[in-house]
């Protein structure tokens, strides 16, 4: 894949679990809370190694967020774990008042984000969480793309002062970023160099964007792919630098077109340097049950969709 | 024995009640009823029970005001304890003030541990802080005040289930049982029924306090709760009179969130001796 090698499919949530275990050793102030999803969140290794610093909350997410906020007052760095839907929408007011407005150093770690949760269906497939979290003043929002990057991000947020929303997923996906990479919060990563179009992607869609870039390479189109692992603070300069060169942009995310990366990029372009943009995102609808790969195609988040968006945006640029 | 004579604590309560009324009157906004009802509790906590030092950033004991709308009593007691100057009370609810309508850490006001106002969240935060103290091997107490109407929030019961199940130590919850909420008596809006049985069945050690406006009784209950809390969580069901200390405000939900007029303020202040000096306006 255009200079990137998939070292074997792995789930991003396992990257979180591996890093949490490491933090248990390196950061005695790290505590973990989980709302009855310890296995799903891959928090069981931490629980077994550090039982005195693991809190089983039960199915009570509001209480989990509140307790996490309270734990910071005693100098702890709490990592909460549940599905993305129950980490955000269900507890929005608790995060808003007890964490964000109260400036508490809570790390909200959310698995099973987006459509790729699969068969459980729309009740569990939140596609609004990036928007919800990035609207909160002071909240850092991170959506890494693979196992290695999720592991690095988890380690990095322990040393980052302030509330963080860390979003990752359920399925095994390509693992292609460097092992033991340094994760710089707020710094976009340019993955390929291109001159015809910029593609900025986040989370699972980064690999899909690379797949699309490879297809287009064969058609003679040069694509610059940028991995936006940090939604907030947003690396505006990296995006602007790229579009000043390419003159058009496609955004790709496993999220609603409202409130997500696409909207964030559009705002950046409108207020700084306007070029044509196409959005690859879920179009104002809920998800449904199905296999992750089937859902990504049905809801327009496949490599073919990115390819089509690239053609469209290049055509708009040339008009 | 108390650190200060009971009469002295009662005198502080009188001044705190004057502060509450003057703050709310000045901006014609705020919540006097519950503030007046909890004045004696907060005075007992801050001037007798809690180990705290306003000059330090880290305290041994912690207090969480979950029902943040009674911020006037909180601000008055914090100022009168020395967390900030009493002059600042005149900025209550005004623009550019650290004394927001509901308490917050966001503006840097000393003595506040967490934002509150959206109800039902303080007990969870209190449990978290109590757990962090246990993990650190510290013995400080965590006090959490909630309103009785606030118990209608579901999160309270998530927290109420967690604390006894996990034998959370040094946690003392206090419910201001004044029987009133914005729309009327709690018995009419959504009855709480037998709170003692409810909390007992959840595993709490329950203390009934019949007169939460008597300083000596408050101190006795809080001391008993502190002793019991070394074993597990304790809750004090504290009966108070909403509007306590001002005859025409007592026991009515009307004064939940209404400010007194000029003449009502004069009438109210005439019932409350100025013992420590009013803050300047």
pLDDT of residue B1: 79
When scoring B114, B126, B202 by the number of chain A Cβ atoms within 10 A, the one with the most, hence best to mutate, is B114
A319: confidence class by pLDDT, cuts 50, 70, 90 = confident
Handedness of CA B35, B40, B41, B42 (dihedral sign): positive
- What residue ranges do the domains of chain B occupy? 6-269
Nearest CA in chain B to A95: B121
Q: Residues A61, A128, A211, A254: which is the catalytic one? A: A61
When scoring A53, A73, A93 by the number of chain B Cβ atoms within 10 A, the one with the most, hence best to mutate, is A73
Q: Quote the Cα angle for B29-B34-B39, to 5°.
A: 110
Nearest Cα of chain B lies from the Cα of A64 at a distance, in angstroms, of 7
Nearest Cα of chain A lies from the Cα of B215 at a distance, in angstroms, of 29
Partner residue opposite B114 with nearest CB, options A58, A74, A102 = A102
A10-173 and A189-318: identical CATH topology: yes
Contacts of A68 in chain B (CB under 8 A): 128
Note if A61 is an active site residue.
yes
Q: Do B138 and A74 lie within an 8 Å CB cutoff?
A: yes
Topology of domain A10-173 in CATH is Rossmann fold (3.40.50)
pLDDT of residue A307: 98
Nearest to B71 by CA among B147, B15, B171: B147
For A4-19, the pLDDT digits (tens) are: 999 999 999 999 999 9
pLDDT of residue A2: 65
- What residue ranges do the domains of chain A occupy? 10-173, 189-318
Q: Which helix (H) or strand (E) holds B86?
A: none
For A180-226, the pLDDT digits (tens) are: 999 999 999 999 999 999 999 999 999 999 999 999 999 999 999 99
> How many whole angstroms separate alpha carbon B242 and alpha carbon B251?
5
B68 Cβ contact list (under 8 Å, min separation 6): B102, B103, B115, B116, B117, B118, B119, B122
pLDDT in tens, chain B (281 residues): 789 999 999 999 999 999 999 999 999 999 999 999 999 999 999 999 999 999 998 899 999 999 999 999 999 999 999 999 999 999 999 999 999 999 999 999 999 999 999 999 999 999 999 999 999 999 999 999 999 999 999 999 999 999 999 999 999 999 999 999 999 999 999 999 999 999 999 999 999 999 999 999 999 999 999 999 999 999 999 999 999 999 999 988 889 999 999 999 999 999 999 999 999 99
> How many whole angstroms separate alpha carbon B119 and alpha carbon B223?
27
Nearest Cα of chain B lies from the Cα of A104 at a distance, in angstroms, of 9
For A157-186, the pLDDT digits (tens) are: 999 999 999 999 999 999 999 999 999 999
Nearest CA in chain A to B105: A102
Nearest to A133 by CA among A94, A186, A188, A170: A94
Q: Look at residue A300 and tell me whether its pLDDT is greater than 70.
A: yes
In this structure, CATH architecture of domain B6-269:
3-Layer(aba) Sandwich (3.40)
Nearest Cα of chain A lies from the Cα of B67 at a distance, in angstroms, of 13
Contacts of B135 in chain A (CB under 8 A): 31, 52-53, 74, 76
DSSP for A109-161, please give it: EEES-SGGG-TT-TTT--SSHHHHHHTSTT-EEE---SHHHHHHHHHHHHTS-
A-B interface: how many C-beta pairs under 8 angstroms? 112
Domain A189-318 in CATH 3.40.50.720? The answer is: no
For A51-93, the pLDDT digits (tens) are: 999 999 999 999 999 999 999 999 999 999 999 999 999 999 9
A1: confidence class by pLDDT, cuts 50, 70, 90 = low
Average confidence (pLDDT) over A300-304: 98
């Amino acid at each position: 894949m255009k200079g990137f090698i998939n070292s074997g499919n792995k789930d991003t949530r396992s990257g979180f679990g591996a890093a949490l275990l490491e933090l248990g050793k390196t950061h005695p102030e790290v505590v973990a809370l989980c709302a009855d999803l310890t296995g799903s969140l891959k928090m069981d290794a931490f629980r077994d190694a550090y039982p005195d610093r693991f809190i089983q909350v039960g199915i009570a997410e509001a209480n989990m967020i509140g307790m996490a906020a309270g734990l910071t007052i005693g100098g702890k760095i709490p990592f909460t774990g549940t599905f993305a839907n129950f980490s955000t929408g269900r507890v929005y007011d608790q995060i808003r008042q007890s964490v964000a407005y109260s400036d508490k150093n809570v790390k909200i770690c959310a698995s099973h984000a987006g459509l790729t949760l699969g068969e459980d269906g729309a009740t569990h497939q939140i596609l609004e969480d990036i928007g919800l979290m990035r609207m909160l003043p002071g909240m850092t929002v991170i959506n890494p793309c693979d196992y290695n990057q999720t592991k690095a991000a988890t380690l990095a947020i322990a040393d980052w002062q302030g509330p963080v929303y860390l979003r990752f997923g359920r399925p095994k996906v390509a693992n292609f970023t460097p092992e033991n990479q340094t994760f710089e919060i707020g710094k976009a990563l340019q993955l390929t160099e291109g001159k015809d179009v910029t593609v900025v992607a986040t989370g699972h869609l980064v690999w899909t964007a690379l797949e699309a870039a490879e297809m287009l390479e064969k058609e003679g189109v040069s694509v610059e792919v940028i991995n936006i692992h940090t939604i907030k603070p947003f690396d505006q300069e990296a995006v602007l630098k790229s579009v000043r060169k390419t003159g058009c942009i496609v955004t790709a995310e496993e999220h609603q077109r409202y409130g997500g990366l696409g909207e964030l990029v559009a705002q950046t372009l409108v207020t700084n340097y306007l070029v044509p943009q196409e959005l690859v995102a879920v179009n104002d609808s809920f998800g449904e049950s199905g296999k992750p790969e089937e859902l990504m195609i049905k809801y327009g988040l496949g490599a073919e969709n990115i390819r089509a968006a690239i053609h469209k945006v290049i055509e708009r640029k040339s008009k | 024995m108390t650190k200060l004579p009971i009469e002295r604590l009662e005198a502080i309560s009188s001044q705190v009640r004057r502060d509450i009324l003057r703050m709310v009157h000045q901006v014609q906004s705020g919540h006097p009823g519950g503030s007046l009802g909890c004045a004696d509790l907060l005075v007992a906590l801050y001037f007798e029970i809690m180990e705290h030092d306003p000059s330090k950033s880290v305290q041994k004991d912690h207090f969480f005001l979950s029902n943040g709308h009674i911020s006037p009593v909180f601000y008055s007691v914090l100022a009168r304890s020395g967390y900030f100057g009493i002059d600042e009370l005149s900025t209550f609810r005004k623009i550019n003030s650290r004394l927001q309508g509901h308490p917050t850490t966001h503006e840097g006001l000393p003595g506040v541990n967490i934002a509150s106002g959206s109800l039902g969240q303080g007990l969870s935060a209190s449990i978290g802080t109590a757990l962090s103290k246990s993990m650190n091997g510290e013995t400080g107490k965590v006090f959490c005040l909630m309103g009785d109407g606030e118990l209608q929030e579901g999160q309270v019961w998530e927290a109420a289930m967690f604390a006894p199940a996990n034998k959370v130590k040094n946690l003392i919850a206090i419910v201001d049982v004044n029987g009133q909420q914005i729309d009327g008596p709690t018995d009419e809006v959504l009855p709480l029924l037998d709170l003692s049985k409810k909390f007992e069945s959840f595993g709490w050690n329950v203390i009934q306090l019949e007169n939460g406006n008597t300083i000596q009784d408050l101190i006795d209950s809080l001391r008993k709760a502190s002793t019991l809390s070394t074993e597990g969580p304790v809750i004090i069901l504290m009966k108070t009179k909403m509007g306590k200390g001002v005859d025409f405000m007592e026991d009515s939900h009307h004064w939940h969130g209404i400010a007194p007029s000029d003449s009502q303020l004069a009438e109210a202040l005439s019932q409350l001796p100025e013992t420590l000096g009013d803050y300047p306006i």
